[in-house]
Structure 1
Amino acid sequence: MTANPILLQKKYCRIIECFAKQQGLSLDEALNFFYHSEVYQLIRDGVSDMHCMSDAYLADELEQEYSGGVRRYL
């Protein structure tokens, strides 16, 4: 299933804001990390309907990737 691109852009914004707050990063730093992350690629490509997961869940997944932890979705 694919999501509406406009709705995805809004979701990306919410995920990035949540991630930035969790990690104490600037929005620019969080944005840069997000767009180079595996989480973003999975959402963008519609893998496992990742776009249907909550913003908090996806921010937690980014946090795992950021800290080099094991990803639960692989």
Structure 2
Amino acid sequence: MVINYNEIQKLLRSRTDLHARLDLIPYDGTPKIKDRGVGKYLYVRKCVAGKLTSTYVRVYTEELYNLLLRNTR
């Protein structure tokens, strides 16, 4: 069994980066995937003063989307 420390470090850095991005989300809301042209993008949707607003998070990845779902308050 070969232990690939570089791959483990890369995955841990990626995980830390995703958690840091989640902490920077400006407010609570519901994750939403929007298709724009050829790409998918993540937004957080919330009703503010009776109006539905969307705030861009970043380009869609399955891992980030799942983290958003788990950490929605």
- TM-score (ref. length: structure 1): 0.29
| Bigger proportion of residues as helix | 1
Greater length-normalized contact order (CA 8 Å, ≥ 6 residues apart)? 1
- TM-score (ref. length: structure 2): 0.29
Larger Cα Rg: Structure 1 or Structure 2? 2
